Every structure is written in structure tokens, then in C-alpha cells.
Amino acid sequence: MERILLADDDAGLCELLTEFLESEGFKVESVHDGSKVVARVLAERFSLLILDVMLPGLSGMEVLKEIRRQSAIPVLMLTARGDDVDRIVGLELGADDYLPKPFNPRELVARIRAVLRRGRLDGSRAPQAEVYRVGDMVIDPAARHVSSGGTRIELTTVEFDLLETLAQSSGVALSREALVKSVLKRSFSPFDRSLDVHISNLRRKIGTYPDGSERIKTIRGLGYILALPPEDFKP
């Protein structure tokens, strides 16, 4: 049974969500103070953290920042509807997904299962899965390992899945719609900028080629491409 830690200061909402999520087969524990979340995540083994932005003690953003220093637990942020700043900041700090309040509990379950499905792939890659080499960057899906110039690059689950998907078609542009459906596991919306934030984080972590050219390029009106290295590039 998947264990979920639910961090929200609304005790009534937590009670309702706990009842609903447990009816869907999850085991749920609730905390209502941000200062207690990090300790619980580090002390116990949870499959996923549902983290509200507005928490007493420590804010959701502060909690997320601290957790990402010590844990790779999947995090689903709950944000105020229409508050794009919270969503973008949460994704930049390493959240795997977000859901604006108020929300349909069934959508919450769908988002939870999508995030957990991505996480389960971490240990289910076939050992003989192809290793991708693009310039000096090596992407090993079986080990979920990425390195550049021999130095390991730490990526979140979503960032790794994005990079792997782009690497599978390196040199070929992929549409934003295709990336959203294959990596984020949800329907594409032109108003959802979470993919772009994940791409921005990924670009920052993998850097550029030595000549300064981008490894991940934006193709205007279409999507993104993992660019092949310059012709004179020597790893």
C-alpha cells in the first residue's frame, strides 16, 4: 500500500481527503504544521508528499527547499487557483507536480497516480536499456544516472524523464504536447507552463556545450530539441 504524507493546515480538508484517498487504496498520514513535515519525511518512508503552500511554522516553499536538500521523495504541491508565482517557484524548487485549490478529489488521485507511476519507473528499467550519449553527456536509463564530462548531474524524476525522452530523439524536435503527454502524463493545455519550468531547470543543470551553444533548444511554435554537439566538439 502506497503511503502518503498530507501536509495542510486545514484539518477538515485533511480528514475528507484522508477518507477519500484511503478508499482509493492509499494509506494517509496528516500533519498541519510546516515545521513537522521535514522530520516526518526523513523519519518515515512515504511514497509521496502532498504539500500545501500555505502552512504555519514553515511555509510549503521553505519545507520543499529543505526536503530537496535531503530527499528525492515525489512532491505534489497544492496552490491557490490562479497563483502562477507559487506554481512556478514550487516547480523550480523541485516539486514534481502541482494542483490548484479548489480541486476535484478524483483529479488529485489521477495526479498522485501519475507521479507515482513515474517514480516506479526508477527501479523498473531493463538492465539492457540503451545508454544515450550526446556529446560529453551520458544518460543511463537503467541506472537513472546522468553525467557530463564524467561529473554526475542530479536530476528530479521529471527532469530525468524529460531528458531521456529528448535523448531518445536527439537531433529531432518534439512538440510540447507530446512531452506533456509522455512525461507529465496529462492532457496538454497551452496555458500550463509547468513543462517550460522543468525544461528551464533541466537546462540550468546540464549546462551548455563548450562553445556556449544550448544543449536543449526551443523550437518556436513547436517545442524542444536535444541538440547534437557542434561538429568540432570532442568529449
pLDDT at position 84: 76
138 falls within a domain: yes
**71 bridge partner residues:** none
pLDDT at position 32: 94
pLDDT at position 232: 58
Does residue 45 sit in the same domain as residue 104? yes
User: CATH no. for residue 144?
Assistant: 1.10.10.10
234 falls within a domain: no
State the Cα–Cα distance between residues 60 and 52, nearest whole angstrom.
Answer: 6
What's the residue count for the chain? 235
Does residue 96 sit in the same domain as residue 12? yes
Does residue 99 sit in the same domain as residue 173? no
- Residue 206 CA, distance from chain mean position: 16
Does residue 87 sit in the same domain as residue 18? yes
Cell 513547436 sits at which residue? 222
Domain ranges, residue 170: 132-226
Does residue 90 sit in the same domain as residue 13? yes
Long-range contacts, stretch 53-58, CB < 8 angstroms, 24+ apart: 53/77, 53/78, 53/79, 53/80, 53/83, 53/86, 53/90, 54/9, 54/80, 55/7, 55/8, 55/9, 56/9, 56/32, 57/33, 58/34
pLDDT at position 216: 95
Three cell numbers, residue 42: 526523513
Alpha-helical (H) ranges within 44-154 are 60-70, 84-92, 105-120
For the stretch 15-54, what's the b/e string if a residue is b when 16 or more beta carbons lie within 10 angstroms of its beta carbon? eebbeebeeeebebebbbebeebbeebeeeebbbbbbbbb
Low-confidence ranges of the chain (pLDDT < 50): 123-128
Which stretch of DSSP H or E encloses residue 202?
A: helix 194-206
Cβ count near 95 (within 10 Å): 30
User: Considering 87, 122, 157, which residue would you say is the last residue of a domain?
Assistant: 122
CA 61-66-70 angle, to 5 degrees, is 140
> What are the tens digits of pLDDT across the range 96-134?
999 988 899 999 999 999 888 876 655 444 444 578 899
User: Considering 99, 122, 145, which residue would you say is the last residue of a domain?
Assistant: 122
User: Considering 93, 122, 151, which residue would you say is the last residue of a domain?
Assistant: 122
Tell me if residue 120 falls in helix, strand or coil.
helix
State the Cα–Cα distance between residues 188 and 223, nearest whole angstrom.
Answer: 12
Phi and psi at residue 139, in whole multiples of 5°? -120, 115
Does residue 106 sit in the same domain as residue 161? no
State the Cα–Cα distance between residues 107 and 154, nearest whole angstrom.
Answer: 30
